Amino acid sequence: MLTRVSSAIQAPFTDRAFRAFLQVFFGVGILYRTILVLALFVSESPPLGAARSFWSAAAILSGLAYDLVLIAVVVAVRIIWHLLRAKATEQRASGSGLAARVAFAALLLWHSVVLGSHLNLLFTMNTGFTWSMFVEFLTVLGFKDFFALLGLKDYLAMVLPQIAFILLLAAGYRFTLRMGATAAAMGGLFLTLAEATPARSAPRELVQSPHLYLLGDAWKSLTASRGRASAPVTGVNLAIDDPVFYRSKSSPEARAIRPRADANVIFIILESTAREYIFDTRKYAGGKMPMPYLWALAQKSLYFSRHFASNNSSPRSIFSIFSGLYESPETRFFSMENDLQVPHLIDLLGKGYSGFLVTPADLNWYFPRAWFKNRGFTDLEDYNRLKQLREYKAGPTPARDEFEAVAHFNARVAKMPQPFVGVYYTFVGHWPYPDIGPEHRIIQPASSRDRYVNNLYAQDQLIRQIVENLEATGRIENSIVVIVGDHGEAFYQHPGNRVHSGESYNENIASPLIIYSPKLLQPATITEPTVHADIVPTLLDALGIAYRRDRFQGESLLRAELSRKYVFTYGNENTLTAVARDLQKVQILYSTKGCRSFNLAADPAEQNLLPCETSGAQYLALQKFYNSQPGMIKGYNNYCKKNGC
């Protein structure tokens, strides 16, 4: 027995492949933390509000202790495995075979992917590699699109550890007592450094092992969903008609509120466009308004001054814009399911309508393409189809020239048989906000936010070209133009809040909505809270199309009075928000089991956190929506797959 135990303890250190694996694993960890410290001091803005200080760097380096703990766990597993194997065969187990070596190489690849993803996300989206991000990768991207987004440095980060593993395996270095003593000394040094570092010197996303961070976040996210009634509920009643949601229950009877008008519907969807910036003349562009044409157009339109995106990411928001429904509040993207059959606006308008979409971006990622195609909206022209247009690099993915794409869209609008649905989806507002030229600047591009503001100005020119083309061709007389931001964009208005899908503050979810139709709609400013799910029923009313109100979760904004108490929005970070008619905003942060409350009427910048009444009506409405919506929307989809919708 003692011989077997002694053999098992020695096994990890006499196994050449296992030694090589441990050396590369720890070496990659050292390289990751070195790059992280350097990036902390040279980046435009440190992630998560971290300070550029000695103690922040010390805290990050002390996190190598986590890697040593992981190595100790792996060694312990190897010893136990050796014991079990030796007992089963009653002989001394040999070193790792081919299968084990392939497994070590796969683990190193996973190690590189997790650390590389965590590092990239920290400096691009201001978040670590969370469970929701992992689910997003599986649901939205897939392996083909994932590898298409990788750059040279990403491939090097995955390939070099494999090369190092092969070289160390071939060299056959032996483990010595000196190496063991060195590892133990390093562990002691990092643990001492961790103890000496002042508390909270750096956010835990920067200090903790990315593997442990991902596992911890997965545990919190999965346990937060316990007890939810997420099983599909059979039926077609989608109305959120519990008294906790509504002041008065409306009749589901289908009726039109005006004569039928077979008008064209033109969507201009503005990528990553927040209400906070577009009409501002004080904070962001040196006294200039980023989108003056849109402001002038709003005065002639239905202008929804307190509109909210239904989600802080594109696929979920697009689903709500074209379905009149809320997405399922869970980390998996319901809107990206391949078998999604929920009715689309193109179905609801009737057989006389055809539709097309133009965008300079790639629709293979972060767009509910399968749903559009399932419902017959198949004419989708994106980066991959518009090969005749110029290309430019915009961060991880290339895009076509935005102004050439609009010219192409305008040419199609002029030729389309009426009535039709035409969608133009911008991309220039998306991170990393490329500088597209001096003619599109209203401020010197000294920072990423400056470039973003300049690109809002470019979007304003795009909108002008589309609307003026409609006017020049006379098609505006028989058209409704919907201009809406898919979600917002953040620039550290709150600590650590950058881009859009990591938080649910107003800068992330408050987006513009303007509906313009000089013949069909009278200008007005609507100050009640509205949401993306309201757009479809509003359009159906504007066009005189009868519909059952229990098929939608939004409300028509043309009806005399809204019957709901709240609008809802769900964030990728697993935060559910309810905004009441009096602008009281309550959020449940399911990933951290926290709660936030703000009075947006008195505090639109959300700087004064209020007590969260967990027994209050708004909190209870959030809980009920969170628990019931997944089953309701999935049940409706199952009904549509079986019976047709």
* Residue 357 host element (H or E): strand 354-358
Environment class of 586 (CB within 10 Å of its CB; exposed 0-12, middle 13-18, buried 19+):
buried
- pLDDT recorded at residue 93: 45
Domains of the chain: 2-224 (no CATH), 264-643 (3.40.720.10)
Q: How confident is the model at residue 431 (pLDDT cuts 50, 70, 90)?
A: confident
The pLDDT assigned to 157 comes to: 86
Query: What is d(CA 225, CA 229) in angstroms, rounded to the nearest whole number?
Result: 9
> Contact 170/164 with Cβ under 8 angstroms?
no
Give tens-digit pLDDT for 238-250.
877 778 888 776 6
What phi and psi values does residue 567 have, to the nearest 5 degrees?
A: -110, 150
Return the structure tokens found at 556.
């028509």
CB 531, CB 310: distance < 8 Å: yes
pTM of the model: 0.83
**Dihedral angle, C-alpha 156, 128, 455, 39, nearest 10 °:** -60
| Pairing of the two strands 302-304 and 513-516 | antiparallel
Instruction: Identify whether the C-beta of residue 264 lies closer than 8 Å to the C-beta of residue 419.
Output: yes
Q: Please write down the HEC assignment for all residues of 385-406.
A: CCCCCCEEEECCEEEECHHHHH
Distance CA 493, CA 605 (A): 8
| Burial (Cβ within 10 Å: 0-12, 13-18, ≥19) of residue 116 | buried
User: 566: Cβ–Cβ under 8 A, 6 or more apart, which residues?
Assistant: 245, 529, 578, 579, 580, 581, 618, 621
- C-alpha 110/C-alpha 117 separation (Å) is 10
Tens digit of pLDDT for each residue in 43-92? 877 887 788 888 888 888 888 888 888 888 877 777 776 666 655 444 44
H helix runs in 417-554, sequence order? 448-473, 506-509, 535-542
What gap in Å lies between CA 429 and CA 455, rounded to an integer? 6
Band (179; pLDDT cuts 50, 70, 90): low
Which residue in this structure is represented by tokens 């479809």?
Answer: 536
- Per-residue pLDDT at 353: 96
Residue 625: Cβ within 10 Å count:
24
Please provide residue 405's backbone torsions phi and psi, each rounded to the nearest 5 degrees. Answer: -65, -40
